[in-house]
Every structure is written in structure tokens, then in C-alpha cells.
Amino acid sequence: MNEQDIKYLEHKSLKDVPGFKAAIQLRLKDGRPVFLGLRDDALSVFTDEGRQYFFDLEGRPWRLSTLNYTLHRGLSHYGLRLRKRPKERGGGYDRERLSDEELAEFCKELWQAGRDILDAIENTHPENIRFTKPGYDTAVGEIKPVIEKITKYSPEQIRQERERFESVYQPIPVLPPDHYRAFVLQVTEGCSFNTCTFCSLYRGIPFRVCSVEEFDEHIKNALAFHGEALRQRSTIFLGQANAISVPQNRLVELMKRIPEQVILSPAEERPVKPKWTRGKRLHFTGIGAFIDGFTGLKKTADDYRELWELGLDRVYLGVESGSEEILEWIKKPAQPDQMLETIARLKEAGVATDIILLVGIGGKEYERKHVEASIKFIEESPLTNGDRVYLSEVVEYSDAPYYQRMEHDRIPRLTEVEMKKQLEVFWDTVKKRKLQPVPYRIDPFVY
């Protein structure tokens, strides 16, 4: 190994990374070395100052990583800063939204890096290039077109991406964590209930189901917008809030339009393990969607089987609490027995089902009822091996009625220790049922 190779670990050079199908190491005009590695789904640029840039295959800035933090830009042209949370604070990442100015700075840095690299590729004699994989011509032939795309995203151009995104998509305020990198397709707008007091995600968006013609157009526009960057996405997620609430005939008609434009894994091959770098453009492993226990009962197991055959392989049900009284109090339009029956029908149809429980909902006043009823719900639910229970700390949005109700009724919140204890009780119950507990935080998220 040559000491001039940029390393990614103390004893490993970047050129040892097997995921790069093409790679080059060269020097910029000012002498700084950079390593360019092209994977099936992204281009990575490493500097010897510890800054790493990542671009999608359309050349759009995607991530900037340093030792202390990572900046992430979503397709919607909003940004996040992620910082590692210490183990004693639960691990994972603290996520905060970037201001428009911070996002602009980050995009500008990556755009400038693209310009400097293009200049170096065009003006460096192949003999002065440190390392290429596989050979110079092939590596440059693969990497240069992506760099040329990067240089087109000037500060002015990248700002316009938000408008482009909004011409294709309604807002995407939340996704289940295993679908953060899904290809989202929206068959509905808004939520058909909008009653849950703790949720303000879709307030002000009237509920509407797309027509078949609109959905065809939406798929076409979404494909064009993602472009080559679609290689980063291996699943499809049907939005917005509770897409499965669409009446069966209409939903079937809409879902049948999807394989007209993309390739879905055949039903008999499922479950397919998602791979982030499938490298097969337009090939998806399956379809996920949110569901609710009330409209969920309007479909039979045969209906769910029909949706499964059309690609639906996992749904997400916001149970929130196993207590009927709490569900009424938070105006959730479903009762525990309705949700249990919905799960039973989904399981009969072979659809993987994840549920979400809210840790700390109802504060001290409902603590005992919430714990007892939710344990009972988990124990009685027909969930099966491989299904997950997301344990999500209740978040109080000041504009949502839940917060106002807690304040008005002077209900004490659980302390940090009490929250932790409740989470542990649920965690143990889920484990005993041989299901998968997953900690879940409704943190800032960008699509």
C-alpha cells in the first residue's frame, strides 16, 4: 500500500473497498488529493481532510460527512444535520433541520468540489493519476458523466429542485424507518380521518383519492424526477397517510398501474431481502403502506391477498395504545378489537404487519391503563415471526390538540425515567411474544 493512498480506516486504503465498480485517485489543481468511488447507486468523493461527499447518480448533492457530523439533503431540497448520540443517551443520531442558508452552503461546497474534479480529470495526464479501477479509460468513462451532472447543480439550479419536487409530490412528512429510502408513490392526498389529537401531519390537506389517469401521470413524473437516482431505492411506499383505506376496487385498479411502469418482484418470490444497491433500475422488492384499524375492517382476507399479489408485502398500523378509553380520548378512529381483527385478516393473507405503540401517551393519568391494555394487545395480537412493534415516544406538537388537552387538564407527563421504564416493559413483552421490538423516534425527516 502506498502512503499517498487516501485511507478510510487506519490500515485500509479506499482502493480496497469492494463496492466501488470504478474508482480514481487524483490531485486537484491546488495539489489536494481526492478519491472518487462509483457504486451502483451513488458517487463518493473522499478528501484527505476527512470530508466525504456523496452524490446521487443524477449528480445531486446527497450527503457530506465529517468526523463530527453528517449533512443530508433530501430530494425535496430540505436538509438535516445528524450527530451521533452518545451511548448513555440511547445511541443513534440527533437529527435537526438545516436552515436554508446552511443547506445552500452545503450544496455549494459539493458543487464546487464537482467543478474542481472535472477540471482535474480534463487536465491531468493519465500517467499522473494515482490509482484507477478497473483501467483508466473505463473508470473515467463511468465517472466523468456523473461529475458533469454535478457541475450543472449550481446554487441557483439546486434551489429550483424544491419546486420540481413539489410539482410531483404532496408533502412526505413521515415514513416507516425501513422505507426512508423507498420510491414513494401517492395514490391519496391527506388523511381520511385527521382526527387523532396528537397528529398534525396532514391537517389542512383535504383527503382525496387520485384518478387512474392522475396516478399514471404521477408515476411517470416521479420516475423522471428521480432519474438514475432511483437506484438508491429498493421498495415502493404508497402514500400519503393511509393509502389502504381506498376502497378495494379502486385500490386494485390503481395498484395495477404500478407494474406498467416499473418491475416488481413476483409475489411467489417474496419476501425478497431489500438490498440498497440492487443496481437494477426500476426493480423493486415490494410495496409498503400505512393502514388503519377502522377502514382496515372494510377489507376481507381475500381482499388483502389480492393486494399482496399486486405487490403489497408490509403494512404499518398505528395502534398507539391497547386501551379503548385512551383511543377514544385521543380520538383515534379504531378500537383494539377492530385492529386485532384487521391484523388477523392481513396475516391470513400473508401480509407482514408492523404496529406502532406510543410510549408515554396520556401521561401519568393513563399510565397504568396504557401499559396493561397494550401488553394485553401485544399478547393477543395475531402478529407473527418477523413482524415488528415500533415503540415510539409520544411527541407533543404545540399546534396539535393533544398538547392543548394535556395542558388544559393539567395532566403530568412521565419523567424520563418513567418513559424508559414503560419502554422496557413493552420491549420485554414484545420479545416474549417472539416479535421484533424497534425503538422509533418521530425525528425530523426529509425525503
Smallest separation, CB 223 to ligand SF4 (Å): 26
Q: Under the criterion CB under 6 A, does residue 294 sit at the interface with ligand SF4?
A: no
Q: How far is CA 77 from CA 127, 154, 346, 395, in A?
A: 39, 14, 36, 25
DSSP 225-285: HHGGGGGG--SEEEESS-GGGS-HHHHHHHHTTHHHHSEE--GGGPSPPP-TT---TTEES
Comparing CB distances to ligand SF4, the nearer of 318 and 360 is 318
* 286 class by beta-carbon count within 10 Å (0-12 exposed, 13-18 middle, 19+ buried): buried
- Please identify which residue in the block is written with the cell numbers 422505507: 179
| Cα 306 to Cα 317: distance, rounded to the nearest angstrom | 19
| Cα 365 to Cα 330: distance, rounded to the nearest angstrom | 13
Comparing CB distances to ligand SF4, the nearer of 57 and 357 is 357
Site track for ligand SF4 across 240-259, x = CB under 6 A: -xx-----------------
Comparing CB distances to ligand SF4, the nearer of 201 and 344 is 201
Comparing CB distances to ligand SF4, the nearer of 243 and 351 is 243
* Sole binder of ligand SF4 in the list 44, 132, 194, 374 (CB under 6 A): 194
Comparing CB distances to ligand SF4, the nearer of 202 and 215 is 202
Mark the segment that binds ligand SF4 (CB under 6 A) among 91-99, 195-203, 300-308, 397-405.
Answer: 195-203
Q: Under the criterion CB under 6 A, does residue 117 sit at the interface with ligand SF4?
A: no
Mark the segment that binds ligand SF4 (CB under 6 A) among 41-49, 53-61, 187-195, 355-363.
Answer: 187-195
E strand segments, 159-229: 183-186, 188-189, 208-209
In three-state secondary structure terms, 160 is: coil
Q: Under the criterion CB under 6 A, does residue 191 sit at the interface with ligand SF4?
A: yes
Mark the segment that binds ligand SF4 (CB under 6 A) among 85-93, 186-194, 371-379, 421-429.
Answer: 186-194
Site for ligand SF4 in 299-328 (CB under 6 A): 318
Comparing CB distances to ligand SF4, the nearer of 180 and 276 is 180
Smallest separation, CB 9 to ligand SF4 (Å): 43
Smallest separation, CB 45 to ligand SF4 (Å): 39
Comparing CB distances to ligand SF4, the nearer of 28 and 400 is 400
Tell me what percent of the chain is helix, strand and coil, each rounded to the nearest 5: 40, 20, 40
DSSP 355-402: EEEEETTTHHHHHHHHHHHHHHHHHHS---TT-EEEEEE----TTSHH
In three-state secondary structure terms, 10 is: coil
Q: Report the interhelical angle of 136-152 vs 100-123 (nearest 10°).
A: 140
* Sole binder of ligand SF4 in the list 201, 252, 301, 310 (CB under 6 A): 201
Comparing CB distances to ligand SF4, the nearer of 23 and 339 is 339
Q: Under the criterion CB under 6 A, does residue 237 sit at the interface with ligand SF4?
A: no
Q: Under the criterion CB under 6 A, does residue 202 sit at the interface with ligand SF4?
A: yes
Sequence-distant (6+) residues with CB within 8 A of 26 are 33, 34, 36, 120, 121, 124, 128, 129, 130
Q: Under the criterion CB under 6 A, does residue 292 sit at the interface with ligand SF4?
A: yes
Comparing CB distances to ligand SF4, the nearer of 99 and 195 is 195
User: Which amino acid belongs to residue 193?
Assistant: F
70: left (phi over 0), alpha (psi -120 to 50) or beta: beta
Task: By CB under 6 A, name the binding residues for ligand SF4.
Answer: 191, 193-196, 199, 201-202, 241-242, 292, 318
